Structure 1
Amino acid sequence: MTAQKPLKVVVATRLYTPEVGAAAFRLKALVDGLVEQGAEVEVITSKAPKGSGVFKPRYGLRRWPVLRDRGGNVRGYVQYLSFDIPAFFRLLSVQADLVVSEPPPTTGLVVALSSLLRGRPFVYYAADVWTEALSAVQVPAAVKKLMGAVEGFVLRRAAKVIAVSEPVAGQVVHFNVPAHRIEVVGNGVDTAVFRPDGPIASAGHPYFVYTGTMSEWQGAAIFIEALALVREKFPDVELRFFGQGADEGHLKAVAAQAIPGAVHFGGVVPPADAAAWIRGAAAALVSIKPGQGYDFAKPTKIYAAAACGTPVVFAGQGDGAAVVESGRLGAAAAYDVQAVAQAMSAVLHEAVVAGSPSADARVRWVLQNASLAASGRVAAQAVLKLGM
């Protein structure tokens, strides 16, 4: 009896390990799950920025130079296209049984078109809904309409849409995607990196930490404004940002005006370093600015903090706040400077936050509910079903 050939899966993503970012982590977990379950995998991605480290996996990995902004990000339509256009021709030439695409929708479009020309299915990994995110930033209405049309085309053409949460799946349905083609796989963090034991950063003063993307729709400036109030009782407490994003310049300007010298920006750091800073923090800060069409988001920085045993102070409403409250991971405050300052002060003043009995309880919750390896295996199973 002839053995069945392994399914050949190609993953197209502008970001991949060792580059730091939730998308890179999520896609690696998917690929690990695919390889673990017997698939043959090849990743088509961008050339990692300098200083990212070396990553040589046992599967195929093809990188291509890409335009990056001054912060080293592949962010902006020109930068996206610098990856998408070469990726289109690379996808036309590669042999595959199916292809997986990660946002933005422009990448989804080149995957959809190349898959149509090659006569093979593709899967769209919806970590978020791009059109909703555009509601939070100042872009022309024509751009929003065009991106909505592109995203809708990609979602409807996909043989399977993988959603990281039920709210994201609900947003996908609005594009007239049949429910049976949508599969919720969950999301999480690498609990081998984000764990309670390990090095602890020391800053010389108590501090709060914000890690990851700094986007307009997250509205992290509220923590800087709140810190000015917190320092009236705790004058030596600081705030440390690690990561990058479109709102970084604005955050630096607010910090320089509101509390000079109390807010530090450390740039992008490796996950292990981010974990060390999280372990040493009084709390990790996470925010979603209400009314921006993003209240359904569950930022992975919530899980990263809790996995290290560190409480979370969440500013905003919706699903992110619900996760913090239901998991007893910290304190969820209204998106209001006074309310956020009170929550931050409570963390500094109290040993027990929002009824969470211990750091161990937060860690256990993440292991049970938000392991990236587990969600990667579920996502891999959803992909492999198409090849059965």
Structure 2
Amino acid sequence: MRITIVSRIFAPEPGAASLRLKSLVEALAHAGAQVDVMTTAPPASKSGQTDMPARVSRWPVLRDSSGYVRGYLQYMSFDIPAFFRVLFHKRIDVIVVEPPPTTGLFVRLGSALRRIPYVYFAADIWSDAAGSTGAASWIVSGVRFIEKLALSGATHVIAVSDAVADRVKTLAPTAHVTVAGHGVDTSLFTPEGAAPAEPADIVYVGTASEWHGASVALDVVIALLTENIELTAAFIGQGSEWLSLKQRAEKSSVSARIRVLPTVVPEEAAMWLRSARVSIATLKPGLGYDFAVPTKIYSSLASGTPVAYAGPDPVRSMVVDNQLGVATDYDAALLTQQLRALLEGSGELSASSMRAWTQDNVSATAVAGRAATAIMQSARHDA
């Protein structure tokens, strides 16, 4: 079986999608499939070998000022060539397409012309995310229309959670959906391994977009570092709010003990997480995106590091009920209080139990296996 994955992001470029697709490629190859990947040429700063059982075809694209493929022109610089690459690629049994929805739409057009089934990997709902940023209503409506087309044309949709699956069914009632779950590479994110030269006590590792509301994380860090002159913190990542976070951190009275660094490769992210005493994750409620799960939480727990989370359920209950750290409403004062208590008695949380929870519930291998089964069944049923 020949399976082609179409994604604007892929290893070695860091990101949750890269890690997810790496595991998926391995699962598909293990099941006997021949895998091709159509993706972008990575930025020069992220170049490197991709060691996995797939043939990877790369295309140069436009990137924003931070080096990320983000924005409508940037998406089109990948999507339009991807349409022709799908159209003229040799034998394909099934296509797997990653968001954004514009890529899904162009893949739908190409697959229809070639009469090839495609599977849409719904890691999140982009129209909901657009609404959460305060985008104009016509933009949100446009994204939602395109997303409906991408979802409804798919032979199968793979969702990362029950909440995402529910939203998929709302947008595309006839969609055949499989919930594969979120996954983390537990062979990469481990409690044992190398550490950075100067580790930090508190870390935020990952994206900081509008719907993350990471300003609360910075508020908490500044408050705790002001109280305790021995604490240090590091923010490592990228996103639409990253510049404002960096500027606020640099202007704070504790700027000498807060490092704000750009995105690092997953291996380096693992180093920061395993060496920290706690990691912070936030999710701003009320933006129509409350069902999202910041996957940085799973990477931290796999590394044996507890999480301090501020945001809505279901994540808040998940952290508290499974003793994975502390969790509060989206409120800086509440999270400061809880995180202070955690740091004062951090020995009460077991790194081994957090690690075991991730292996039992969110292992990337298990998630990729479920997704690979759905993908291969889609090709067989369509044959």
Instruction: Find the residue that maps to 1:342 and give its secondary structure.
Output: helix
Matched, 1:59 2:31: no
Matched, 1:364 2:353: no
TM-score (normalizing by structure 2): 0.95
Q: Following TM superposition, by how much is the alpha carbon of 1:124 offset from its aligned partner in structure 2, in angstroms?
A: 0.2
What does residue 141 of structure 1 align with? 137
Q: Following TM superposition, by how much is the alpha carbon of 1:343 offset from its aligned partner in structure 2, in angstroms?
A: 2.0
What does residue 198 of structure 1 align with? 193
Q: Distance in 2 between matches of 1:301 and 1:228?
A: 21
What does residue 35 of structure 2 align with? 41
What does residue 238 of structure 2 align with? 244
What does residue 4 of structure 1 align with? none
What does residue 231 of structure 1 align with? 225
Q: Distance in 2 between matches of 1:169 and 1:144?
A: 20
Q: Following TM superposition, by how much is the alpha carbon of 1:97 offset from its aligned partner in structure 2, in angstroms?
A: 1.2
Match of 1:255 among 246, 249, 273: 249
Matched, 1:106 2:102: yes
Question: Residues 219-262 of structure 1, C-alpha deviation per residue, up to 9 Å, x if partnerless?
Answer: 11112112232134312322211111111011112223334333
What does residue 338 of structure 1 align with? 333
Instruction: Find the residue that maps to 1:135 and give its secondary structure.
Output: helix
Match of 2:365 among 369, 373, 383: 373
CA contact (8 A) 2:183 2:363 kept: yes
Q: Distance in 2 between matches of 1:360 and 1:261?
A: 33
CA contact (8 A) 1:17 1:25 kept: yes
Give the residue type in structure 2 aligned to 1:41: V
Q: Following TM superposition, by how much is the alpha carbon of 1:80 offset from its aligned partner in structure 2, in angstroms?
A: 0.6
Matched, 1:22 2:12: no
Q: Distance in 2 between matches of 1:363 and 1:218?
A: 24
**Larger CA deviation: 282-291 vs 338-347:** 338-347
Matched, 1:126 2:88: no
Once the two structures are aligned, what percentage of the paired residues are identical? 39
Q: Distance in 2 between matches of 1:367 and 1:375?
A: 11
Give the residue type in structure 2 aligned to 1:26: R
Q: Following TM superposition, by how much is the alpha carbon of 1:87 offset from its aligned partner in structure 2, in angstroms?
A: 0.6
Alignment of 1:265-284 (within 5 A): 265-284=260-279
**Larger CA deviation: 228-237 vs 88-97:** 228-237
Match of 1:220 among 210, 214, 219: 214
Q: Which runs of 4+ in 1 moved over 6 A?
A: none
Matched, 1:166 2:166: no
Give the residue type in structure 2 aligned to 1:98: V
CA contact (8 A) 2:217 2:281 kept: no
Q: Distance in 2 between matches of 1:72 and 1:322?
A: 36
Instruction: Find the residue that maps to 1:196 and give its secondary structure.
Output: coil
Q: Distance in 2 between matches of 1:227 and 1:55?
A: 36
Q: Following TM superposition, by how much is the alpha carbon of 1:305 offset from its aligned partner in structure 2, in angstroms?
A: 0.6
Q: Following TM superposition, by how much is the alpha carbon of 1:41 offset from its aligned partner in structure 2, in angstroms?
A: 1.1
Q: Distance in 2 between matches of 1:315 and 1:369?
A: 21
Matched, 1:32 2:44: no
Q: Distance in 1 between matches of 2:51 and 2:182?
A: 25
* Residues 278 and 116 of structure 1: CA distance in aligned 2, closer, same or farther (over 3 Å): same
Instruction: Find the residue that maps to 1:203 and give its secondary structure.
Output: coil
Q: Distance in 1 between matches of 2:53 and 2:372?
A: 17
Q: Following TM superposition, by how much is the alpha carbon of 1:193 offset from its aligned partner in structure 2, in angstroms?
A: 0.8
Match of 2:292 among 297, 302, 313: 297
CA contact (8 A) 1:196 1:309 kept: yes
Q: Following TM superposition, by how much is the alpha carbon of 1:352 offset from its aligned partner in structure 2, in angstroms?
A: 4.1
Q: Distance in 2 between matches of 1:375 and 1:81?
A: 30
Instruction: Find the residue that maps to 1:216 and give its secondary structure.
Output: coil
Give the residue type in structure 1 aligned to 2:203: V
Q: Following TM superposition, by how much is the alpha carbon of 1:340 offset from its aligned partner in structure 2, in angstroms?
A: 1.4
Q: Distance in 2 between matches of 1:98 and 1:177?
A: 22
Instruction: Find the residue that maps to 2:87 and give its secondary structure.
Output: helix
Matched, 1:178 2:174: yes
Q: Distance in 2 between matches of 1:249 and 1:383?
A: 39
Q: Distance in 1 between matches of 2:115 and 2:267?
A: 42
CA contact (8 A) 1:224 1:258 kept: no
CA contact (8 A) 2:25 2:52 kept: no
Q: Distance in 2 between matches of 1:26 and 1:319?
A: 22
What does residue 7 of structure 2 align with? 13
RMSD: 1.5
Q: Following TM superposition, by how much is the alpha carbon of 1:56 offset from its aligned partner in structure 2, in angstroms?
A: 4.5
Aligned length: 377
Q: Following TM superposition, by how much is the alpha carbon of 1:327 offset from its aligned partner in structure 2, in angstroms?
A: 2.4
Q: Distance in 2 between matches of 1:314 and 1:110?
A: 37
CA contact (8 A) 2:213 2:284 kept: yes
Q: Distance in 2 between matches of 1:213 and 1:232?
A: 25
Give the residue type in structure 1 aligned to 2:39: T
Instruction: Find the residue that maps to 1:212 and give its secondary structure.
Output: strand
